[in-house]
Amino acid sequence: MSFSHLGLSEKVLAAVAATGYKTPTPIQDQAIPHVLARRDVLGIAQTGTGKTAAFVLPMLTMLETGRARARMPRTLILEPTRELAAQVEESFIKYGANHNKLNVALIIGGVSFDDQDAKLMRGVDVLIATPGRLLDHNERGRLLLSGVELLVIDEADRMLDMGFIPDIERICKLVPFTRQTLFFTATMPPEIRRITEQFLSNPVRVEVSKPATTVATTAQFLARSGRDGFEKRDTLRRLIRSAEGMKNAIVFCNRKRDVATLHRSLLRHGFSVQALHGDMDQSARTAALEQFRKNEVTLLIASDVAARGLDIPDVSHIYNFDVPIHPDDYVHRIGRTGRAGRSGTAITIVAGSNDAKAVAAIEKLIGQTIPFMDKIPGTPAEPQHEPQHEPRHQQRHEPRQTARPPQRGRHEHQRRAQQPERRPQQPPSAPVARIEDARSRRVPQPVRQPMDDGDVSHLPAFLLRPVTVKA
Ligand code: AMP
């Protein structure tokens, strides 16, 4: 089936053809005709299903008639993060290549109010916004939502996670009652169901199968580590250094604070690395992402919120520095690799019994067990090996200067590294069924000779490339 039967305009069809897409995805196939028929749509779909085009393409078709008035946008798209908002804007640029007169404005936090204000003044056909900044403009009297004909609420369950639901409710009350609403969410927790019942009018429900199945082209492994931060960072470094076919990697942490700590640590260890988390200002986030996209840095350390839905093609490796708390996030994270039939590797560091429980939930969701790596090459570090405050002149050469630990000590480290719980002052934790189970389902891995930090001959040059980091 082609795009031509969906009712899209000639201009839109020409732009789609120019992108090379031949067949609509299931969400596009099912949602577009209803959107064009002005029905409310409840789309249950995740990022990666083509849902952005499912609303962008019919919106472009519908906006070919009519004109925008100053300060009164005709359509409004709400996104949970600035990056997602920017990506939707890119979709309008891509699919709206033949729509010369279309005005698209991005209203997101972290950038100047005045530029945004000037755009609003000119009249906007499509306003793409994060909720907080949108309400700020509205409260300043710079933006009237009474002309909105169509409202898109995207990634609603992520909005819930981020505490945006009260803002969404306020915005829904500011737009006309008669508007058309397109609502997208990956899951339907009770709070989201309540919102859909309150703000959608007789919606068509369109559900596409969740990509809870991880891509077959991605090899998935678990790597055992001690629980302390320095132990996990050491494990990660050894995993990166021993990675085969490494082109670039995203390392996910659960907390922004840990993104920053890990970023600093990897820089100190001479890796080519950037960070992406919600506390960075917009220009720093955009710059980090651009550097990573252009392969100017090899590693991107990211939090889930910052990385949600980012379209970064061709990532060779994913590392979960922390096991994600929500199993769905695992699927999202590792969905960044193994795209378009390319092979990818996703490795999750498992440190302690809570991690093992979280892994069990992930395995249940994806319907498969993830094998433990037999052995991670390299020698586990002692606490003092983390170069926390070494003088600046040592930073570039750090891997060369680490002394090879004595043989006896190294075996001791290896033995201890096999044990998930290492802190003697803590009571022994209860046996963890999943970890024990997992021992018997290890897959054979190519066994390498242990290497120590002093030997950098195995490090690809790009990992040692110095990078300049903005404060
Ligand atoms: P989304 O779920 O909107 O984030 O889209 C995920 C990816 O699928 C993006 O890189 C889109 O450019 C791509 N995409 C969207 N529609 C199609 C299609 N019909 N055929 C192939 N790829 C598509």
Distance 100 CA to ligand 1 centre (A): 23
Average pLDDT estimate for 339-349 = 78
Atom 19 (ligand 1): residue with closest C-alpha? 24
CA of 239 to the centre of ligand 1 (A): 31
Ligand 1 environment, Cβ below 6 A: 21, 23-25, 28, 47-53, 309, 311
pLDDT at 237 over 70: yes
Contact 448, 440 (CB under 8 A): no
Q: Are residues 278 and 163 in the same domain?
A: no
Q: pLDDT > 70: what percent of the chain?
A: 75
> How far apart are the CA of 31 and the centre of ligand 1, in A?
14
pLDDT value of residue 86 = 92
Output the six-digit token pair for 85: 């908002």
Q: Is residue 442 part of a domain?
A: no
Closest ligand 1 atom number to CA of residue 91: 12
pLDDT of residue 216: 64
Judge whether 180 lies within some domain: yes
Q: Whose CA is nearest to atom 6 of ligand 1?
A: 48
389 pLDDT tier (thresholds 50, 70, 90): very low
Q: Looking at ligand 1, which atom is closest to the CA of residue 28?
A: 19
Query: Tens digit of pLDDT for each residue in 46-87?
Result: 777 889 999 999 999 999 999 999 999 999 999 999 889 999
pLDDT for residue 3 = 95
How many structural domains are present in the chain? Answer: 2
Work out the pLDDT band at 116, boundaries 50, 70, 90: very high
- Establish if 393 belongs to a structural domain: no
Q: How far is the CA of 54 from the centre of ligand 1 (A)?
A: 9
Residues 223 and 152 in one domain: no
What integer is the mean pLDDT of 130-141?
Answer: 95
Dihedral (CA of 400, 405, 407, 409) sign: negative
Last residue of a domain, one of 377, 412, 436: 377
Give the C-alpha separation, 128 to 126, whole Å: 6
Q: Three-class SS of residue 82?
A: helix
In a domain, 340, yes or no: yes
Are 226 and 122 contained in the same domain? Answer: no
Shared domain check, 80 and 191: yes
280-330 tens-digit pLDDT: 777 888 888 889 988 999 999 998 766 665 666 678 999 999 999 888 788
Compute, in angstroms, the gap from residue 50 CA to the centroid of ligand 1: 4
Give backbone dihedrals phi and psi of 440, rounded to 5 degrees, phi first: -80, -5
Given ligand 1 and candidates 12, 21, 49, which is best to mutate, with the most ligand atoms within 8 Å of its CB?
A: 21
CA of 91 to the centre of ligand 1 (A): 10
The answer for residues whose C-beta is within 8 angstroms of residue 50's C-beta and 6 or more apart is 24, 25, 27, 28
Check residue 83 and give its pLDDT. Answer: 87
| Residue 459 belongs to a domain | no
| Ligand 1 mean position, distance from CA 459 (Å) | 35
Q: Hey, whose CA ends up nearest to atom 22 of ligand 1?
A: 21
Q: Does 389 map to a domain?
A: no
Query: Is there a single domain that holds both residue 321 and residue 196?
Result: no
Task: Tell me the CA–centroid distance for residue 293 and ligand 1, in Å.
Answer: 18
Q: Indicate whether 189 and 285 sit together in one domain.
A: no
Report how far residue 232's alpha carbon sits from residue 350's, in angstroms, rounded to the nearest whole number.
Answer: 9
User: Quick check: is 400 in a domain?
Assistant: no
Which domain-ending residue is among 377, 400, 427?
Answer: 377
Which of these three, 323, 343, 377, is where a domain ends? 377
pLDDT at 452 over 50: no
Produce one character per residue of 183-217: b if its CB has 16 or more CB atoms within 10 Å, e if not: bbbbeeeeebeebbeebbeebbebebeebeebbee
How many Å lie between the centroid of ligand 1 and the Cα of residue 312? 12
Q: 253 and 202 share a domain?
A: no
Return the best residue to mutate from 5, 13, 47, 52 for the ligand 1 pocket (most ligand atoms within 8 A of CB). Answer: 52
Distance 51 CA to ligand 1 centre (A): 7
Point out the ligand 1 atom lying closest to the alpha carbon of residue 45. 2
Q: Which atom of ligand 1 is nearest to the CA of 25?
A: 19
Question: Ligand 1, atom 15: nearest CA belongs to which residue?
Answer: 50
Q: Tell me which residue range forms the domain holding 299.
A: 218-377
**What integer best gives the mean pLDDT of the chain?**
80
Beta bridge partner(s), residue 344: 218
Residues 266/301, Cβ–Cβ less than 8 Å: yes
In sequence order, what are the residues at sequence separation of 6 or more whose Cβ sits closer than 8 angstroms to the Cβ of residue 370?
Answer: 220, 221, 222, 348, 359, 362, 363, 438
Nearest atom, ligand 1, residue 21 CA: 20
Residue 333 pLDDT level (bands cut at 50, 70, 90): confident
CA distances from residue 79 to 122, 241, 337 in whole angstroms, order as listed: 22, 37, 23
As a whole number of angstroms, the distance between CA 5 and CA 325 comes to: 42
Residue 49 and residue 101 share a domain: yes
113 & 160 share domain: yes
Question: Which residue's CA is the closest to the ligand 1 atom numbered 11?
Answer: 50
Centre of ligand 1 to C-alpha 332, Å, is 15
Residues 231 and 372 placed together within one structural domain of the fold: yes
- Residue 275's nearest CA partner among 296, 293, 292 is 292
pLDDT in tens, 247-271: 999 999 999 889 999 999 999 999 9
Query: In residues, how long is the chain?
Result: 471
- Testing ligand 1's pocket by substitution, the residue of 12, 88, 308, 311 carrying the most ligand atoms inside 8 A of its CB is 311
CATH number, residue 296: 3.40.50.300
Residue 142 has pLDDT above 60, yes or no: yes
Cα of 53 from ligand 1 centre, angstroms: 7
**Same domain as 241, residue 163:** no
Answer yes or no: do 163 and 234 share one domain.
no
CA-closest candidate to residue 379, choices 414, 412, 349, 348: 414
Is residue 398 included in any domain, yes or no? no
